[in-house]
Amino acid sequence: MTRLPKLVVFDLDYTLWPFWVDTHVDPPFHKGSDGAVRDRRGQTVRLYPEVRDVLERLQGLEVPVAAASRTGEIEGANQLLELFDLDRYFVHREIYPGSKVTHFERLQQKTGVVFSQMIFFDDEKRNILDVSKLGTEWSYLHSCPEWNESSNPKSGTGDICKGPSWALRSSPVDEPHLKHKTERKS
């Protein structure tokens, strides 16, 4: 039988969207009549294209999802989750600066899920290193700041999540920023 995580935790910047919310864009954000989300300067901001499908898939599997971000732009990050209509997927949001160990300890307190039954997606090694010490499964998403919709769609991988203990698979995705690697904890 396939084992599913009890909680899936996503970073925000360069995990759900291709920018740092505190430096690359200019909050506050708003949604135009055309449905596009824009920042204060009118710059359109987008999610990575697979994000909605991944979150829908997890919801369909009844796997709860949380956000863990160390951005200082707390209000802007929350605003984006709401404007992108992603807030309904996240049972908890831990968004504030500092080591993600704190974010995960709070998530464990709030959900009762032990670290070893969580899986964490992040693009920064420092976060992966911190959180992996707790015993959480993780998947490292390679940052791809230059990524855009014209990037080579054939260069990605088909699995979004494939760790030694988890066997959660998504519909195939073909974007380079979702390349990942997982390693068994020592």
> Which amino acids are annotated catalytic?
11, 13
CB 122 → Mg ion: shortest distance, Å? 6
- Within 10 angstroms of residue 131's Cβ, the number of other Cβ atoms is 24
Indicate which single residue of 8, 9, 13, 136 sits in contact with Mg ion (rule: CB under 5 A): 13
CB 123 → Mg ion: shortest distance, Å? 4
User: By C-beta, is 31 or 121 nearer to Mg ion?
Assistant: 121
Binding region for Mg ion (CB under 5 A) out of 11-19, 84-92, 101-109, 171-179: 11-19
DSSP 104-141: HHHHHHHH---GGGEEEEES-HHHHHHHHTTT-EEEEE
| Binding residues with Mg ion: total (CB under 5 A) | 4
Nearest CA to 11 out of 89, 66, 58 is that of: 66
User: By C-beta, is 11 or 130 nearer to Mg ion?
Assistant: 11
- C-alpha to C-alpha distance for 55 and 52, rounded to whole angstroms: 5
Indicate which single residue of 5, 8, 10, 14 sits in contact with Mg ion (rule: CB under 5 A): 14
Chain positions 89 to 148 lying near Mg ion, rule: CB under 5 A, are: 123
Phi/psi region, residue 62 (left: phi>0; alpha: psi -120 to 50; beta: rest), is left
Residues near Mg ion, by CB under 5 A: 11, 13-14, 123
